[in-house]
Amino acid sequence: MTISAPAVSGAEEPEQPEQPAYQMEEIVFTGAQIPSPEADTQTIRMESAGRAVVTTVPDAMDTAAGIDIQRRGILTPKNSQVRLRGLDERRSQILLNGRPLNGTGVMGGYFVDWTALSTQQIDTVDITKGAFSAKHGNSLGGAVSMTSQAPDKDFEASISTGYKRYNTFSANASVSGRQNAFAASLSAGHKRTDGHLRNSGAERTDVSGRFHYFWGDDGELQLSLRHSTGDYQMPVENRKNTADYDSDFPEHAGDYLAGPGIKFPGEDSHGDRSFFHKERTEADFRAQKQIGSLDSELITYINYEDRTDTLYSRQTGEKILERDAVPDRSWGWKTNFARPGKDHQIGFGAEGNYQGYGGTDNTYIRPGYFPKPPADVDDDWDATRWHGVYVDDTWGVSQKTDVYAGLRYDDYKGDRTVDAVTGYNAAGKPLGYADRDVDFHEGVVQPKLGLVYSLQPWLSLYGRAGRAARFPDNPAFYWYYAGYQPELDSRTNITRKDLTYEDAMQYEAGAEYTGLKNLTLSATVYHYRVENYIRWIFGYAPSRVVYNVDRVDFTGAEIDATASLTKHISAFANFAWQDTKKHGDVLDASNTLSDSLPELPEYKFNCGLSWQRPDGAMARVKLRWVDERQVPYLAGTASPDGASQFAGATAELREMDDFVTVDLFFKYPVFAHLDCTGFLTGGVENLMDETYQEEYDFPAPGRSFHIGAELVF
Give the C-alpha separation, 93 to 76, whole Å. 22
**Do 529 and 46 meet the contact criterion of CB atoms below 8 Å apart?**
no
Gyration radius from the chain CA atoms? 26
pLDDT of residue 175: 96
pLDDT beyond 50 at 650: yes
Write down the pLDDT at residue 11.
Answer: 36
**Is the CB of residue 552 less than 8 Å from the CB of residue 502?**
no
Domain residue spans in the chain?
Answer: 41-712
Read off the pLDDT of each residue in 577-591 and give the average, rounded to a whole number.
90
Which helix (H) or strand (E) element contains residue 563?
strand 551-564
For the cut 70, the answer to whether the pLDDT of residue 27 exceeds it is no
Tens of pLDDT, residue by residue over 162-189, are 999 999 999 999 999 999 999 999 999 9
The per-residue pLDDT for 133 is: 97
Alpha carbon distance, N-terminus to C-terminus of the chain:
31
| Confidence bin at 49 (pLDDT 50/70/90) | confident
Spatial separation of the C-alpha atoms in residues 639 and 497, rounded to whole Å: 23
The mean pLDDT value for 289-308 works out to 96
Does 653 score more than 50 pLDDT? yes
Q: Which residues, 6 or more positions from 317, have their beta carbon under 8 angstroms from its beta carbon?
A: 271, 272, 273
Say what the pLDDT of residue 159 is: 96
Instruction: Tell me, letter by letter, the H, E, C secondary structure of 34-79.
Output: CCCCCCCEEEEEHHHHCCCCCCCHHHHHCCCCCEEECCCCCCCCCC
Per-residue confidence band for 26, with pLDDT thresholds at 50, 70 and 90: very low
pLDDT at position 326: 96
Give the contacts of 321 (CB within 8 A, at least 6 positions apart): 262, 309, 310, 311, 362, 364, 365, 366, 374
What CATH number does domain 41-712 carry, 2.40.170.20, 3.40.50.300, 3.30.413.10, 1.10.150.120?
2.40.170.20
pLDDT (tens digit, 9 = 90+) per residue, 675-713?
A: 999 999 999 999 999 999 999 999 999 999 999 999 999
pLDDT at 52: 76
- Nearest-angstrom CA–CA distance, 571 and 606: 11
31, 6 in Cβ contact below 8 A? no
pTM higher than 0.85: yes
The yes-or-no verdict on residue 14 having pLDDT over 60 is: no
DSSP state of 1: -
| Residue 523 pLDDT greater than 70, yes or no | yes
**pLDDT grade, residue 539 (50/70/90)?**
confident
Condensed to tens digits (0 to 9), the pLDDT of residues 320-376 reads: 999 999 999 999 999 999 999 889 999 999 999 999 999 899 999 999 999 989 999
Q: How far apart are CA 64 and CA 712, in angstroms?
A: 29
Instruction: Please give the pLDDT value at position 639.
Output: 64
Report percent pLDDT > 70 for the chain. 94
Distance of CA 650 to the CA centre of its chain: 33
| Strands in 180-218 per DSSP E | 182-193, 202-215
**400: helix, strand or coil:** coil
Query: Residue 28 above 80 pLDDT?
Result: no
Report the pLDDT averaged over residues 561-575.
96
Reported confidence tier of residue 593, pLDDT bands at 50, 70, 90: confident
- pLDDT on residue 15: 43
Tell me the pLDDT of the chain averaged across its residues. 91
Cα gap 665→682, rounded to integer Å: 6
Residue-by-residue DSSP string for 607-636: EEEEEE-TTS-EEEEEEEEE--EEEEEETT
C-alpha span between 84 and 126 (Å, rounded): 12
For the cut 80, the answer to whether the pLDDT of residue 205 exceeds it is yes
Given a cut of 90, whether residue 152 has pLDDT beyond it is no
Predicted confidence band of residue 636 (pLDDT cuts 50, 70, 90): low
Report the percentage of the chain scoring pLDDT > 90.
80
Question: Tens digits of per-residue pLDDT, 419-428?
Answer: 999 999 999 9
